Amino acid sequence: PGAKRMEVRKAFYRAAKARQFQAAWDLLASARRSGVADKHMYGVGLSIASSAGRTGWVDALWRELRQAPELRRTRERQPSEGQSARLNAPLCTALITAFGSDRDGSRLGSCRAVLQWAVEHGIANTTTYNAFLHCASRSIGGTASARRGRRRGGAAASDDTSATDAAALAVAMTDQALAQMGELGVARDARTAASAITVYGRAGRLDRARDVYEESGDVADTVVGNALIAAAARAGDAVLALDTLASLGDAASIVSYNAALQALVKSDQSLDRVAHALELRRAMAEAGLAEDEASVSSLLAIFGDGPLGEELLAERSLQQQQQQQQQQQQQQQ
């Protein structure tokens, strides 16, 4: 029997590695029935369910795992059905991540339920909260994407979740999560700040995004700065975007500059957009950052059809020709 159980586990990991989702799930079910499924197998199972887009599988594991601690406390005998794999912080994080990966971003309530379970059982940590905040950020963009897809499929607008309601819910839950972290003494890190800023930025709450950035202090890094620049770009606040970019200094990346350029494109503030765009181009060149398609698209939107736009197109055309020549030379060699 021991050898057979070990073979089931080996077969499960082989199927998971080969991305044979249904086979791996069936093997996990067998391991759960025989009581040999451990925490790592459950974690891999959640990853499989997420990759396969099978939220029903995630629901099944959530129902099973959250009962395990109760069974362990109230029964002296060993729990069956694989429930000896007690739900811990890494598994809570995996559950939230799996629910949050739902393609339409509609499982924020499930993510919140897992987080609350972790809090009630004293196992919530920074990683658990970060997974939840990432889920909250996806719930806004995901709902809009799913809504467009359903409308293309003929669904009525009244059947869709309101984007405003989705944003309000995500903001409220993010507020609660950040406040709860403070109450419980759970430390924030760069990912906490970046995810929260993304939620507020997508919801149009630039004031809250700025607050989180200022509160992040020493944990603020390029990713956190980029999140605020992106939020500012979404709101068309070029001044905030440029100020944040400047604060990053040498840590600014091509993503940082592209977001700042996008902010200039969308901004209706009284500033010289062309002058700022030229300054950003100069800074990018000095930093050794090559312009990409996003950079060029934003610059053309700012320069328009004038001499600067024509010059940029000519430069881009010359670069593409040089790249093609290099590729041809490499192929000949």
**pLDDT tens-digit series, residues 75-85:** 334 444 433 45
Which of 19-23, 38-42, 130-134, 253-257 comes out lowest in average pLDDT?
A: 38-42
Higher pLDDT, 1 or 275: 275
Measured CA distances, 313 to 77, 78, 319, 322 (Å) = 74, 71, 10, 14
Higher pLDDT, 161 or 125: 125
- The predicted pLDDT at position 77 comes to 40
Q: What is the mean pLDDT of residues 316-332?
A: 81
- The predicted pLDDT at position 135 comes to 94
Distance CA 17, CA 13 (A): 6
Residue 133 CB burial class (10 angstroms; 0-12, 13-18, ≥19): buried
Distance CA 45, CA 57 (A): 9
- The predicted pLDDT at position 306 comes to 87
Segment of 207-211, 214-218, 309-313 carrying the highest mean pLDDT: 207-211
- Position 69 pLDDT exceeds 80: no
- The predicted pLDDT at position 324 comes to 81
Distance CA 92, CA 125 (A): 10
How open is the CA angle 321-326-330, to the nearest 5 degrees? 150
Cβ-count burial 179-189 (b if 16+ within 10 Å, e if not) = eebeeeebebe
Q: What is the mean pLDDT of residues 246-271?
A: 95
- The predicted pLDDT at position 34 comes to 79
- The predicted pLDDT at position 68 comes to 59
Packing angle, helices 108-120 and 126-152, rounded to 10: 160
Q: Which tokens go with 65?
A: 């795992």
Which pLDDT band holds residue 74 (cuts at 50, 70, 90)? very low
- Position 57 pLDDT exceeds 70: yes
- The predicted pLDDT at position 303 comes to 93
- Position 136 pLDDT exceeds 80: yes
**pLDDT tens-digit series, residues 286-318:** 999 999 999 999 999 999 888 999 999 888 888
**pLDDT tens-digit series, residues 109-128:** 999 999 999 999 999 999 99
First to last CA, the chain: 59
**Residue listed under structure tokens 């799930």:** 25
How many of the other CB atoms lie within 10 Å of CB of 125? 16
- The predicted pLDDT at position 227 comes to 97
- The predicted pLDDT at position 70 comes to 40
- Position 154 pLDDT exceeds 50: no
Measured CA distances, 5 to 19, 78, 81, 123 (Å) = 21, 17, 14, 30
Which pLDDT band holds residue 157 (cuts at 50, 70, 90)? very low
Which of 10-24, 42-56, 58-72, 170-184 comes out lowest in average pLDDT?
A: 58-72
- The predicted pLDDT at position 14 comes to 92
- The predicted pLDDT at position 85 comes to 53
Q: What is the mean pLDDT of residues 17-32?
A: 90
- The predicted pLDDT at position 2 comes to 64
State how far Cα 67 lies from the chain centre.
29
Measured CA distances, 92 to 6, 74, 97, 176 (Å) = 26, 22, 9, 18
Closest CA to 91 of 71, 121, 51: 121
